[in-house]
Chains A and B, each alone.
Chain A
Amino acid sequence: MMPQAPKAGNLVVIGAGMASGRMLEHLFETAPDAWNVTLFNAEPRGNYNRLMLSPVLSGEKTYEQIVTHDAGWYAAHGVDCRFGEAVVKIDRANRVVYSNQGGAPYDKLVIATGSAPFIIPVPGKDLKGVVTYRDLEDTNAMIAAARPGATAVVIGGGLLGLEAAAGMAARGASVTVIHLMGHLMERQLDPSAGYLLQKDLERRGITVHCHGATKAILGKTHVEAVLLEDGTVYPADLVCMAVGIRPETRIATDAHLEVERGILVNDRMQTSDPAIFALGECVQFENQLFGLVAPLYDQAKVLAATLAGQVAAFRPVQTATRLKVTGVELFSAGDFAEGPGREDIVFRDPGRGVYKRLVIEGDRLLGAVMYGDTADGAWFFSQIKDGTDISGHRDTLIFGPAFQGGSQADPLAAVAALPPEAEICGCNGVCKGKIIAAIQDGAVTLDAVRAQTKASSSCGTCTGLVEQVMALTLGEGFRTNANPPVCQCTQHSHDDVRRLIRAGGLKSIPAVMQELGWKTAGGCATCRPALNYYLLADWPLEYRDDRQSRFVNERNHANIQKDGTYSVVPRMWGGVTTPAELRAIADAADRYNVPMVKVTGGQRIDLLGVKKEDLPAIWADLNAAGMVSGHAYSKGLRTVKTCVGSEFCRFGTQDSTGLGIKLEKLLWGSWTPAKVKLGVSGCPRNCAEATCKDIGVVCVDSGFEISVAGAAGMEVKQTEPLCKVATETEAMEVIAAFIQLYRENARYLHRIYKWVAKVGLDWVRAQMADPANRKALYDRFLVSQQVYQSDPWAEHAAADQRGKWAALADLTLEAAE
């Protein structure tokens, strides 16, 4: 036995966690006998590897396997363990800390209390069955609840929440994740990687609800369900709140140490009291907080050295994130925000579900996000940390260290990735597998494929995709006549994008960009509005309109003018108004100093020159008089012009005014590829100019002649007859079904006359002639209207929305000084 060296004094440590555990290891290595250590821990146990709670939850490890320091270790180092004793007070004057069970004097004190999970203050948060995810107790509670058949809701789609969800799902529970933001793990991932992650989790049976704000947790004594702001209710036997953490600073604050968001420390981990140190998640260093272990281990080294009388300084380093869910490959490191002088390199392989993005500034790699294939993560991370000059291998950087020859993005990848049952031809219901079979049976020309399968033989919109399937099956030999791409972000044409959205069941902009191999990270001003339209038209119930992907007029629900003011056009159903409406318009014009009031060519009144910040107020005034937005700005229904018709006119055959009003009330609010205008005339004299509109109705004694595809703008063209019907009801169904056909098939910004010229009037007539098909189109139109037929003015004029229309700040006075 070695003689004991004299001890330097009492070292008290509050918190036996990851950071203090590592610190004690270093301290006992460098200065084994320098201190008498007393270790308090609120948890009734010593240090275990907190990171590994997730494998314990999922059943891949046991608690015993993740203990880092057992009783033998503490005994060997003479640590006085006071586990299950939370420190409640630090008496700095007398240098004593107290738990409920007594005190302990210190010469030096270390605070390592970690963090506390944040609890969102919603009703029901204190019910039994609501847990957080921080320690073994939480983990055991989730294990107990996650029986097969049980339901669990996890609030928070960050690292912890997803590990909790995956762990409970692995035990057979049916789990829903509610996430406030638009995509999962938004702090570590960009939208594309977030989309892939969501897809992987959904494949494991986990439901993911983004844009979900929790309103209340429901239940009498024990949780029963979670209610969201949007009205959705998810049943739950257990609710795990994983919405974030807050440094555990309470005892430090009570002791009047300097505390901001965390306990302030210098680079030696010393607090404002020279005898007290702090490390781990409870500290704040140079405005930074810490939530991952890598920097805490550096702090541990520094503090051990300091306590051993050596000189050391803490410098925060970059951290990398991985999600510990078996089978999910995800990596993010460094800073991947866009920024001044930064450039992106994006690589996507839709077939393998791979996404990689590097952010470069000058000759340095700043950040990396990767999904699906993270083998090169460590290599990228070291280049980020070392600030390696990458100018020499920049072109091939994204392919990683094992790069051999570099592959070009494959234009056929999206079609190659489709499963055999994916529908290529919507008109005739032909799937990819059938086309491949026909080609393999000898149909090697487009005409032969058409003859055998009927694919691309109707409207022709899918021709590009059929050709791509042929190119994939026949190889080099087959040449496609590709349509021009949507924009520089993609090689796909509008038609291909539309068909692939449906064939692949793609329901968000990041999903489309990933699965179709977009070449940019976030698209451009050409593709984003088109994608937004295609998605809302195809998935009215699932897709959420993306306001930021809309042109100014649709985003602001008003037409921008050359001087930056706006015009306001309320609906005037069928061109009919009342004295009360006219008075309200006149009052609004006075109140908001409208410089011009004009009757439009669309039979209604335009208030021109309104300031942006006045828009919500003028809308509210017009709403109060019963008027709604006229959508004079939208790719959607504009006006239904009418004439006076049989109610007043001596020639009128039907109530053209009444039908026009009914049509406008049926169709308003719907979004279409380009604007849609209608006219209804009461007799062939055609005073409503119906035969140069997108859709025209001319009333005759025996019914209604419906014609389509007119134009009177940059081109002038007479409508072509679609059909004739006997009743108003039929007329309305035909017209709504026709608009739905247009909504589902046309490319963005094509007016009806352009689309009909492309697909052929015969094809359109055939679609409309089949009553079952017509009814199905009509029904789909009504479903979409349930979502989109609501007055945007009312929504934005609401008191809590108005602030957004004004300037963010007014510095006119400051700057004038």
Chain B
Amino acid sequence: MSGGFDSWIDIGALEDIPSAGARVVKTAQGCVAVFRTANDQVFALDDRCPHKGGPLSEGIVHGTAVTCPLHAWVFSLETGQAQGADAGTVATYPVRVADGRILLDGRRLARRVAA
């Protein structure tokens, strides 16, 4: 992916993700979890819990938060910050929905590769 102007990548239809659920997108550097909330808002985060690497895409989605399936840390989907007593951050990626299609910002993915 170039760092060009039109860097939004179509990764699928909103309907492909269950409401209050998630699916993953594979990248060369690991998986990105794409979440859909009960109100059809979409978020993208690294699919790796900073605690012990749990796949966040498999957690229960409630409001705009997800509970990690392995040891129940809770993360804000908006900021990637762990909530409550736990400390840790998950990287987030720009993602948007247009005409029912989910678009992920390829520039940010590319930057992650470079980093």
| Chain A interface residues (CB < 8 Å from chain B) | 182, 190-191, 287, 336-342, 344, 520-525, 528-529, 547-552, 555-556, 560, 562-564, 807-817
**Nearest-CB distance from A558 to chain B (Å)?**
11
Closest to A523 in B: B62
Q: How far is the CA of A815 from the CA of B30 in the complex (A)?
A: 10
Determine if A552 and B59 form an interchain contact, defined as CB atoms under 8 angstroms apart.
yes
Q: How far is the CA of A341 from the CA of B76 in the complex (A)?
A: 10
**Nearest-CB distance from A213 to chain B (Å)?**
13
Determine if B62 and A522 form an interchain contact, defined as CB atoms under 8 angstroms apart.
yes
Instruction: Give chain B residues whose Cβ lies under 8 Å from the Cβ of A344.
Output: 63
**Per-residue interface assignment for chain B, residues 55 to 91, with 1 indicating a CB less than 8 Å from any chain A CB and 0 otherwise:** 1001111111101011010100011000000000000
Q: How far is the CA of A287 from the CA of B58 in the complex (A)?
A: 34
The number of residue pairs between A and B whose CB atoms lie closer than 8 Å in the complex comes to: 132
Instruction: Give chain A residues whose Cβ lies under 8 Å from the Cβ of B2.
Output: 817
Closest to B33 in A: A808
Most A C-beta atoms less than 10 A away, residue of B9, B11, B38, B54: B38
Determine if B41 and A525 form an interchain contact, defined as CB atoms under 8 angstroms apart.
no
Q: How far is the CA of A520 from the CA of B11 in the complex (A)?
A: 31
19 residue pairs of the A-B complex, CB under 8 angstroms, read A337-B37, A338-B37, A341-B78, A524-B60, A524-B63, A528-B60, A528-B62, A548-B21, A548-B60, A563-B53, A807-B23, A807-B25, A808-B12, A808-B34, A809-B25, A811-B26, A812-B26, A817-B2, A817-B110
Determine if A525 and B62 form an interchain contact, defined as CB atoms under 8 angstroms apart.
yes
Q: How far is the CA of A562 from the CA of B110 in the complex (A)?
A: 28
Most B C-beta atoms less than 10 A away, residue of A337, A520, A549, A563: A337
Determine if B39 and A336 form an interchain contact, defined as CB atoms under 8 angstroms apart.
yes
Q: Tell whether A342 pairs with B27 under 8 Å between CB atoms, given A547-B18, A811-B109, A814-B1.
A: no
Q: How far is the CA of A563 from the CA of B54 in the complex (A)?
A: 7
A interface majority secondary structure: loop
Q: How many residues of B contact A (CB 8 A)?
A: 53
Most B C-beta atoms less than 10 A away, residue of A523, A525, A549, A810: A525
Instruction: Give chain A residues whose Cβ lies under 8 Å from the Cβ of B11.
Output: 808-809, 811
Determine if A808 and B25 form an interchain contact, defined as CB atoms under 8 angstroms apart.
yes
**Nearest-CB distance from B42 to chain A (Å)?**
9
**Per-residue interface assignment for chain B, residues 28 to 60, with 1 indicating a CB less than 8 Å from any chain A CB and 0 otherwise:** 110100100111110100000000111100111
Determine if A560 and B63 form an interchain contact, defined as CB atoms under 8 angstroms apart.
no
Instruction: Give chain B residues whose Cβ lies under 8 Å from the Cβ of A191.
Output: 38
Q: How far is the CA of A816 from the CA of B65 in the complex (A)?
A: 30
Q: How far is the CA of A560 from the CA of B70 in the complex (A)?
A: 8
Q: How far is the CA of A813 from the CA of B39 in the complex (A)?
A: 32
Q: How far is the CA of A98 from the CA of B11 in the complex (A)?
A: 45
Closest to B66 in A: A525
Instruction: Give chain B residues whose Cβ lies under 8 Å from the Cβ of A813.
Output: 28
Determine if B64 and A817 form an interchain contact, defined as CB atoms under 8 angstroms apart.
no
Closest to B76 in A: A340
Q: How far is the CA of A523 from the CA of B37 in the complex (A)?
A: 12
Beyond contacts A528-B62, A814-B27: 16 other A-B pairs, Cβ-Cβ < 8 A, are: A337-B41, A340-B43, A340-B79, A341-B78, A342-B64, A522-B63, A525-B60, A525-B72, A552-B69, A807-B31, A808-B11, A809-B11, A809-B25, A809-B26, A811-B1, A811-B27
Q: How far is the CA of A134 from the CA of B6 in the complex (A)?
A: 40
Q: How far is the CA of A462 from the CA of B67 in the complex (A)?
A: 31
Question: Residue B78 contacts which of A287, A336, A339, A816 (CB distance < 8 angstroms)?
Answer: A339
Q: How far is the CA of A814 from the CA of B112 in the complex (A)?
A: 13
Instruction: Give chain B residues whose Cβ lies under 8 Å from the Cβ of A337.
Output: 37, 39-41
Most A C-beta atoms less than 10 A away, residue of B21, B31, B69, B72: B69
Closest to B102 in A: A808
Q: Tell whether A522 pairs with B12 under 8 Å between CB atoms, given A337-B40, A560-B69.
A: no
Q: Tell whether A564 pairs with B55 under 8 Å between CB atoms, given A811-B9, A817-B2.
A: yes
**Nearest-CB distance from A535 to chain B (Å)?**
16
Q: How far is the CA of A196 from the CA of B61 in the complex (A)?
A: 23
Q: How far is the CA of A807 from the CA of B52 in the complex (A)?
A: 21
**Nearest-CB distance from A211 to chain B (Å)?**
12
Instruction: Give chain A residues whose Cβ lies under 8 Å from the Cβ of B72.
Output: 525
Instruction: Give chain B residues whose Cβ lies under 8 Å from the Cβ of A815.
Output: 1, 27-29, 106, 109-110, 112-113
**Nearest-CB distance from B112 to chain A (Å)?**
8
Determine if B17 and A808 form an interchain contact, defined as CB atoms under 8 angstroms apart.
yes
Q: How far is the CA of A342 from the CA of B77 in the complex (A)?
A: 11
Instruction: Give chain A residues whose Cβ lies under 8 Å from the Cβ of B61.
Output: 548
Instruction: Give chain A residues whose Cβ lies under 8 Å from the Cβ of B54.
Output: 564
Instruction: Give chain A residues whose Cβ lies under 8 Å from the Cβ of B113.
Output: 815-816
Q: How far is the CA of A443 from the CA of B79 in the complex (A)?
A: 55
**Nearest-CB distance from A254 to chain B (Å)?**
24
